[in-house]
């Protein structure tokens, strides 16, 4: 089982729609959570951190459910420019070394259509 799992999609939604992605993680000791965005043939960039109390940044809302070990990202009023792959990222202790490092999910692809 992967340490961080995401539905690869693609999610095809019309402009203005609300879309939500979920991500599950396997290590209950994980402490830090993030969403990164990656455009086609570009590098990943931080979209937002995910706090225990949930947080919002404009049209984007991130939530964390520690009990069920999942993270969600909600995008309201989708824009064409939101089309990208959204990577769920969890700070996990690596099996071999015990050192913590960011572990990336494989990403969920979003395509917003006019």
Partner 1 sequence: DARVTQTPRDKVTEMGQEVTMRCQPILGHNTVFWYRQTMMQGLELLAYFRNRAPLDDSGMPKDRFSAEMPDATLATLKIQPSEPRDSAVYFCASGLVLTGAANEQFFGPGTRLTVL
Residues 52-91 that bind partner 1 (CB under 8 A): 87, 91
CB of 14 to partner 1, least distance (A): 27
Residue 100 in contact with partner 1, rule: CB under 8 A: yes
Which of 47, 19, 40 lies closest to 104, judged by CA?
47
Angle at alpha carbon of residue 61, lines to 59 and 67, rounded to 5°: 170
Q: Which stretch binds partner 1 (CB under 8 A): 18-26, 53-61, 66-74, 93-101?
A: 93-101
Q: Rg of the chain's alpha carbons, rounded to an integer? A: 14
Of 18, 32, 52, 113, the residue at the interface with partner 1 (CB under 8 A) is 32
Residue 28 in contact with partner 1, rule: CB under 8 A: no
CB of 15 to partner 1, least distance (A): 28
**Which residues are at the interface with partner 1 (CB under 8 A)?**
31-32, 34, 42-46, 87, 91, 94, 96-97, 99-107
């Amino acid at each position: 089982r992967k340490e961080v799992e995401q539905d690869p999609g693609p999610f095809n939604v019309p402009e203005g729609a609300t879309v939500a992605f979920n991500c599950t993680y396997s290590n209950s000791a994980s402490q830090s959570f993030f969403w990164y965005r990656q455009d086609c043939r570009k590098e990943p960039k931080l979209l937002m951190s995910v706090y225990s109390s949930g947080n919002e940044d404009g049209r984007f809302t991130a939530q964390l459910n520690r009990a069920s070990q999942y993270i969600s990202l909600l995008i309201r009023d989708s824009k064409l420019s939101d089309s990208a792959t959204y990577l769920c990222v969890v700070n996990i202790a690596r099996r071999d070394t015990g050192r913590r490092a960011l572990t990336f999910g494989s990403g969920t692809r979003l395509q917003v259509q006019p």
